[in-house]
Amino acid sequence: MIGRTLGHYRILEKIGAGGMGEVYRAHDERLDRDVALKILPSGTLHDESARKRFRKEALTLAKLSHSNIATIFDFDTQEGVDFLAMEYVAGLTLAQKLAAGLLPEQEVVNLGIEIAAALEEADANGIIHRDLKP
């Protein structure tokens, strides 16, 4: 995928992967900014019903406005590839921080508060995350 262009997104590097697809840092050529592009596994949106559910979820997520939740900018299908474009947040993941060693107690408390605030915002908008991990 690296080097490929989907619509107006040029894929630069892979930054993660999980059960719901792979995530890449990409450059939005139209708005001249980096984004996180989540590429859904092939066949995830296998029929019109699945596409409608995905569209509804993407629209719901795009309405969230919280400092601890990456903003959804776009969702699309290009060349048979389904994806979400969202805010790119530079820095280490929690898993990367934990791999480097134990975190100071106050940082753990602060992270817990930030995570809880984000989950509260999602819950207030009828969203259940279902895939939390460091």
pTM value? 0.85
pLDDT of residue 103: 96
**3-state class of 35 per DSSP?**
strand
- For residue 93, what pLDDT is reported? 87
Q: What's residue 73's pLDDT?
A: 96
Residue 134 is predicted with a pLDDT of 60
- What local confidence, expressed as pLDDT, does residue 99 receive? 94
Identity at 43, one-letter amino acid code: G
Per-residue pLDDT of the chain (134 residues; tens, 9 = 90+): 999 999 999 999 999 988 788 999 999 999 999 999 999 988 888 888 988 988 888 898 898 999 999 999 999 999 989 999 999 999 998 889 999 999 999 999 999 999 999 999 999 998 888 777 66
Report the distance separating Cα 25 and Cα 37, nearest Å: 6
User: Which residues belong to the active site?
Assistant: 131
The residues spanned by each domain of the chain are 5-124
Tell whether domain 5-124 is in CATH 3.30.200.20. yes
Helix runs in 1-134, H state only: 48-62, 94-99, 105-124
Q: How many residues does the chain have?
A: 134
C-alpha dist (Å) from residue 114 to 69, 92, 93, 118, 134: 10, 16, 14, 6, 13
CA distances for 115 relative to 61, 66, 93, 134, angstroms = 16, 11, 13, 11
- Answer yes or no: are the C-beta atoms of 39 and 13 closer than 8 Å: no
pLDDT of residue 34: 98
